[in-house]
Structure 1
Amino acid sequence: MSLTDRIQMHFGQVIETKMHTAELLTDDICLVSQWLINCLINDNKILCCGNGASSAIAQLLSSKLMNRYDQERPGLPAITIGADNCVASGISNTFNFAEVFARQIKAIGQPGDILFIITTGGNSPNIIQAIQAAHDREVTVIALTGNDGGGVATLLTEHDIELRVPSDIKAIIHEAHISIIHCLCDLIDYQLFEEAQ
């Protein structure tokens, strides 16, 4: 296969997966936007987390909410847990890395908050423990996943929701996750700051 063919194949797979994701998840993405808005207007906060590239996507979400997405508006309360290296390394050193999110959720999570987790495989021990901690604190879980949802899918309750990208290719799952994040940010801005005008 030529380099040109590989490029075309990559873009084709990404586009196909994103379109399939839109077909499968449109109603659930609308619902998630409503959950996020209800959380925000009730003076609660959104806690975001993920590992590796998913951590970067979690930071993208909190940055777009805290700062801005596409228009000037007030900042919205969202934070990426695990992004503070001092806190994360301290927890990992004193306890273990599996507790890096859970301990932060136990410290700052409140009923009515939302834990927004991003994971491609859904089996990381720190993500699993984060969900358990969220449930203990009456924090709703929104999970962006891929593959078969992994252990995350088995832990979610009727009060949580999973947005599962229909792919088993990590890079393509990440790209779809970013599109979902951007879509949610647009829906939040539209419903909170544009629709009433």
Structure 2
Amino acid sequence: MDMTSRMASHFTDAVQAFEDSRTALVDPLAQAVDLMFAALANNGKILACGNGGSAADAQHFIAELVGRFERERLPLAGIALNVDTSIMTAVGNDYGFDEIFERQVNALGQAGDVLVCISTSGNSANVLRAVGAAHERDMHIVALSGKDGGVLGELMTSNDVHLCVPHDRTMRIQEVHILLLHALCDGIDALLLGDSE
């Protein structure tokens, strides 16, 4: 395959990943918007976590909530659990890397809050432990994963929403995750600002 064809194949593959995700994820995406809006409307907050590219996505999502998405509105309560290097290195050093999100959920999470956890494989140990801590605190989970959902999918309850991208390549899963996060922001804003569209 020549380089031009190789580059073109990325677009073809991405379009298919987006189409498959639209079919599979529109309904749970709408459920996730409702879950997050309910938390925010009841003085709750959204916590988010992930590793690597998923950490960047978690931080990006929270920035859209606290700052703004496309329109002016009041800031929304959100915390990215992967941005405080002092907490992450202290907990990682003293307790282990697997506890860096769990301890923050235990410190900051309250009943009715939402934990957005992002893991392309669904098998990140520190994310899984954060889910366990969130469930113990009667929080809801919105999980973004891919492939077969991994262990993360098995941890979801009827009170949670699992947005599992139906694709096996990490890059495609991450690309769809960005779309899902932007769609969540748009949905929350639509409910906050009373859009009827």
Same fold (TM over 0.5): yes
User: Is there any run of 5+ residues in structure 1 with no aligned partner, and where?
Assistant: none
Aligned match of 1:157? 157
CA distance in 2: counterparts of 1:102 and 1:175, whole angstroms: 26
Given residue 85 of structure 1, which amino acid in structure 2 is its aligned partner? Answer: T
Q: CA deviation at 1:20?
A: 1.1
Q: Which amino acid aligns with 1:166?
A: P
Name the amino acid aligned to 2:19.
M
**For 2:65 and 2:142, how far apart are their aligned partners in 1?**
16
What is the aligned-residue identity percentage?
Answer: 38
Q: The residue matched to 1:145 in structure 2 has which SS?
A: strand
How far is 1:136 from its partner?
0.9
SS at match of 1:40: helix
- How far residue 15 of structure 1 moved from its aligned partner, in angstroms, is 1.2
TM-score w.r.t. the length of structure 1 is 0.97
- Once the two structures are superposed, residues 52-111 of structure 1 have per-residue CA deviations (whole angstroms, 9 ceiling, x without a partner) of 000000111100011011011111001100211111001000110000000000001000
Paired with 1:155 and 1:37, the residues of 2 have a C-alpha distance of 23
Report the number of matched residues: 197
Q: Distance in 2 between matches of 1:148 and 1:15?
A: 20
* Alignment of structure 1 residues 1-197 onto 2, 5 Å: 1-195=1-195
- What is the distance in 1 between the residues matched to 2:92 and 2:63? 24
Structure 2 residue runs without a partner (length 5+): none
- RMSD over aligned Cα atoms: 1.2
SS in 1 for 2:193: helix
Query: Given the two structures, how large is their TM-score scaled by the length of structure 2?
Result: 0.97
- Which residue identity does 1:54 align to in structure 2? S
Distance 1:15 1:178 in 2: 14
Distance 2:110 2:62 in 1: 18
Letter in 2 for 1:18: F
**Runs of at least 4 residues off by over 3 Å:** none
**2:28, 2:124 → 1: CA distance?**
24
Comparing 153-162 and 83-92, the one that deviates more: 153-162
